[in-house]
Amino acid sequence: MASSRTALRDTGREAAINAGRVAVALFLVVIALGVLSYRYYSLQIVEYERFLTQSDRNRVRLEAIPPKRGLILDRQGRLLATNIPSHRLSIVIERVSDLDALIKDLGALVELDENDLDSFNERRNRRRPYATVPLKLQLNDHEMARVGVNLHQLPGVAIEAQLTRHYPHGDLLSHVVGYVGRINESEASQIDEQSYRGTLHIGKVGVEKRYESVLHGKVGYQNIEANAHGRVLRVLDEESPSDGADLQLHLDLDLQRAAYDALGDQRGAVVAIDPSNGGILALVSNPSFDGNLFVNGISSKDYSALRDSTDTPLLNRAVQGQYPPGSTVKPMIGLAGLELGLVTPDTTVADPGWYQLPGDSRRYRDWILRIRGTGHAPNVDLRMAIAESCDVYYYDLARRMGIDDLASSLEPYGFGVRSGLDITSEQPGILPSTRWKRSRFDKPWYPGETLSAGIGQGYMLATPLQLAQATMVMANRGDSFVPSIVRRIGDLPVEGVSRPKVMASDDHWSAVIAGMMDVVHDRRGTAAAIGRNLPYTVAGKTGTSQVIGIAQDGVYDEDEIDERHRNHGWFIAFAPVDQPRIAVAVLAENGGGSSAAYPVARKVMDAWLLGASNAEESDDG
């Protein structure tokens, strides 16, 4: 039996089959080892650099270090714009598997409004790979705590420390200092992306915008090592940023507050200039707004309230508001009449309270007519015409001068052009002439329009800044400077830039300034009410500009006119007369007349020349 079973087995064939199987297995093993060896060689040798780079990208990333924005200080070194520490909530998109779910989870921990989500989506579209994208720019302590304890369950989420712009004086300086805000899509397309890496804010208006390149600084960089969840493990190397330069302004915080308080609830503006160099000592537009609202994105409700307000708080009346200058231009026109030889200081004009052009039956009334029923005096000379603001005198002078000579005479004072002030959105006003009207309306100039221009009405428009600049020219007897806000950039002083001198003889300057002094110091002067107990000399000029026209036989009754249609009040002044230290222009919008403006100027001049304690004493007088 055993031999028969052995006879049935084919041991040779089995050995051949086993040998074949072993050969196939060995072949497969060799192939597998070859593939593994090739792959190992490829990974370690051929593609080493590529995979090392990918690995480093997951482990090491380059992050921008934003520079610290430069501070803004007043002339005494007091902070007007600073940076305060805060924290923001950010996300690394590449570390998140379900972004919508993550944002929903975060929304349960912190308050996320529509502006936050819109800004996040806008920023994520222009982000760099593995860069954090801010979701909420400012976390309060409670929000930080809630996110912090859940951070281990929130892959890709980071709480980042940052410096946030802050304006410690709220609405006191918003129109001059301005504010920063989030970089929008339009701005992102215009700025240098590398220069603003890691920066979310940019200057929007005012000094913040005008000096953006100086305040911003230069971005720095650091290589950081992170774990698989994006948490920073260590900083590998770093290039420090260059912080923005600090700006010191000519502006004085105490004077700014005095001007702001003096306006009170009155819509209007105050501009005060240092005649020695053109530095802006105070620039107030009322009503104002709090620039802090805009830093991290103003809510729709708050912005609508500002935008839709009938008081237009976003309008910088000091440099954007354009109003008829009224009688404030009379000293400049009077000086031009003297220089052109059309009048002398002793030339008189008959004043019945109205004026007629030759061959014209229309009567151009003097403002005094409705008060006295007659003129200022039977005959008025230049000094009285300035002190009592006689319209008839200037109707006659403007007619003899003609509109083009009148415009040419006012142009050197800065009317009709932007002053060059280092701030945004300044308007040029209008200095009308025959050429201007033909270009603007394609119509000829009429003689009656010249009379209106002679008292600062009609087409003529000026900003409070332009009138302050013109007052500086009067204070310096022809010398002036380009108005400037910034006094020093870092350690570098900013020198005043001279403007072309307004040429006139000393006698003519003295004649006009004597009339301006009578405005305040003579009992019949139009601003005599502020001259009582005045311990310094002032040369000033009142002005009233119409908002709506009054028919020839009509009567201006302030009580019957809507408040928004009442006359604007103006007052310009410089003091002390012999050695001017301040030139001021005050606008009282719809204030009814100059009586709403010159008390404001008195308080501003007192604050600057006497100090706060003396100012209070003089006000009581």
The span from the CA of 320 to the CA of 176, in Å, is 12
Return the number of other C-beta atoms located less than 10 Å from residue 297's C-beta. 18
β-pairing verdict for 568-575 and 539-545: antiparallel
The answer to whether the beta carbons of residues 598 and 263 sit under 8 Å apart is: no
- 29 Cα distance to chain centroid: 77
β-pairing verdict for 72-73 and 247-249: parallel
- 388 Cα distance to chain centroid: 38
Nearest to 277 by CA among 564, 462, 487: 487
Report DSSP state, residue 559: G
Active-site annotation holder among 327, 389, 452, 594: 327
Report DSSP state, residue 242: B
The span from the CA of 155 to the CA of 238, in Å, is 26
Nearest to 322 by CA among 224, 211, 416: 416
Residue showing tokens 């003609």: 402
CA atoms 607, 610, 613, 617: torsion sign: negative
Residue 490 tokens, joined = 């870092």
Q: Write out the H or E segment, with its range, that includes residue 119.
A: helix 114-124
3-state secondary structure of 440: helix
Report DSSP state, residue 480: E
Return the number of other C-beta atoms located less than 10 Å from residue 118's C-beta. 11
Beta-bridged to residue 61, according to DSSP, are 224
- 340 Cα distance to chain centroid: 40
Residue 511 amino acid letter: A
The span from the CA of 586 to the CA of 589, in Å, is 10
Residue 38 tokens, joined = 């090739």
The answer to whether the beta carbons of residues 375 and 394 sit under 8 Å apart is: no
At a CB cut-off of 8 Å and minimum separation 6, what does 479 contact? Answer: 473, 498, 501
Tell the burial category of 342 from Cβ atoms under 10 Å away from its Cβ (0-12, 13-18, 19+): middle
Tell me whether the omega of the peptide bond preceding residue 576 falls within 30 degrees of 0, making it cis: yes
The span from the CA of 66 to the CA of 12, in Å, is 82
The answer to whether the beta carbons of residues 230 and 158 sit under 8 Å apart is: yes
Q: Write out the H or E segment, with its range, that includes residue 335.
A: helix 330-339
Active site residue 545: no
Tell the burial category of 119 from Cβ atoms under 10 Å away from its Cβ (0-12, 13-18, 19+): buried
The span from the CA of 551 to the CA of 212, in Å, is 50
Nearest to 185 by CA among 177, 193, 173: 193
Residue 366 amino acid letter: D
598-609 vs 612-620: helix axis angle to the nearest 10?
140
The residues annotated with a catalytic role in the active site are 327
